[in-house]
Structure 1
Amino acid sequence: MKLLNLVALSLSLLPAVSGAPLDTSGPSPLVFQRQNQPANQLLSYIFQLFPVNVALRDAQGLLTIAEKAFALLAGFNTVENDVETGVCGDIVVIFARGTTEPGNVGSLVGPPLFGALRKRMGANGGQTLAVQGVDRYDASVTAYLQGGDASGSQQMADLVSKAMKQCPSSKIVMSGYSQGGQLVHNAARLLPASTMAAVSSVVIFGDPYSRFPVQGASPGKVRIFCHLGDDICVDGDIILLQHLTYFMDVDEAATYILANAK
């Protein structure tokens, strides 16, 4: 029934994506803009229908649909390939999405983070941002339970090395959400110490390995966001609402990234 409700909600709100007015009554934790229409109520609707208090394996199908609907209705771009297409910026973010998320940067954390960075960088003398998502990574529940997708972990390490070579004057940031946090830790272990020492900052949201340091990264360059009560942050497998709301931390994360990029 919940799956049917989510599909019905997605279809009913499609006019909002194309520019029709949304109901903006009531509180909401964040405001998004889609074709100049406020969409703050949209988040409340989506989060009400995300599966919570259930094991990851049991919620996999629902999460996949919910995250795709969230991206569509919020108007998020879930694919970023700047490094692979030769684009550099003052800051380059290599980002790994969470389990079951769409595209290569997902929807729940990646796009809001990039938006927060671009807003601040644009106001700071027109600085530029380049973003690259981890592609060779199916973000499956099985891979999460095994400690993070091995292929994705290797690709993240390779992308960091490529970005440093391709964009020598850029500040390189490693970031991820949920299983993407596992990939950040795994990639750090795969990279030479000299490469990790050159990383500008490491920012992880809902980190399953939050109790462990990021190998090779100075503690002063690492910021881990873990909400109180988030079971994933203690390497658990239960999805609680706390794990779905890290978009609320993107402004603080953007400020941290920019401070370390000076």
Structure 2
Amino acid sequence: MSSPGRLYTSENKRGLSEVGSNACTDIIVIFARGTGEAAPIGDIVGPQLQASLEKSLTSLGKSLTFAGVDYPADLVGYLEGGSMTGSETMAQDASLLFTSSFRLASIVSVGYSQGAQLVHNSAKLLPPEISGRIKAVVTFGDPDKDQKIENIPVQNDDIICHPLDAICFGSELLDILIIIFLENHLDYNLDCDAAAKFITDRV
């Protein structure tokens, strides 16, 4: 059994500034939080997904490192289709892991809300030889839910959107529905156990 991975955060423009002392981590999740959430992993999806994954992976004798993408997560970025600097950082994070001592770990890409936009954008920035090695992709409250995540086999991506989530309806309905239905965008913690199982089955 590998020793436990440690949470690491992004503190510089490149992204992952510290990967800890354990290069034997089995699974590394690169997580992009939603607009307005606190770094590094927000509070709606990130902590619950991390806890769910730790529980399921520990039972399999696998270790987890859960990393937050360093980006502003502001409204401007969301309206632009996802922060471009954040998208570049997420792509750089994945590339760095595949060329470092962590290259044998299983990489998972996850995003919530604007973070889901970053997942889509970063996949487009990665060459197929890198994106093709990402074991699983999960998005929650995805504004780009109708777009395929490039270079990721459909059986390895899970796009989770609640039926009345205004963010998932797209910008045309956003102005009308955001006030009424925003609560349906804020309870994706309820889907974390199922998402953890989806990831665990693929790593």
**What TM-score, normalized to structure 1?**
0.66
- Select the structure that is richer in helix: 1
Structure 2 residue 145 is matched with structure 1 residue 203: no
Identity %: 40
AA partner of residue 17 (structure 2): E
Given that residues 35 and 75 in structure 2 are in contact (C-alpha distance below 8 angstroms), is that contact kept between their aligned partners in structure 1?
A: yes
Which residue of structure 1 aligns with residue 60 of structure 2? 124
Distance 1:206 1:235, change over 3 A: same
1:86-139 CA distance string (max 9 Å, x none) = 3342110001000000012111001100000001111222x110111111x111
Which structure ranks higher in relative contact order (CA pairs < 8 Å, sequence separation ≥ 6)? 2
Q: How many residues align?
A: 181
Which residue of structure 2 aligns with residue 258 of structure 1? 200
- Counterparts of 1:242 and 1:176 in 2: how far apart (Å)? 17
**What TM-score, normalized to structure 2?**
0.85
- Which blocks of at least 5 consecutive residues in structure 2 are unaligned? 1-6, 11-15
Kindly name which structure, 1 or 2, has the bigger radius of gyration based on alpha carbons. Answer: 1
Structure 2 residue 19 is matched with structure 1 residue 86: yes
- Counterparts of 2:67 and 2:132 in 1: how far apart (Å)? 20
Which residue of structure 2 aligns with residue 178 of structure 1? 113
Structure 2 residue 82 is matched with structure 1 residue 148: yes
AA partner of residue 90 (structure 2): M
Given that residues 91 and 125 in structure 2 are in contact (C-alpha distance below 8 angstroms), is that contact kept between their aligned partners in structure 1?
A: yes
- Which blocks of at least 5 consecutive residues in structure 1 are unaligned? 1-78
- Counterparts of 1:209 and 1:215 in 2: how far apart (Å)? 12
Q: CA deviation at 1:235?
A: 2.2
Structure 1 segments, 4+ long, off by >4 Å, are none
1:233-260 CA distance string (max 9 Å, x none) = 1223425111000000000000010101
Which residue of structure 2 aligns with residue 220 of structure 1? 155
Which residue of structure 2 aligns with residue 35 of structure 1? none
AA partner of residue 66 (structure 2): V
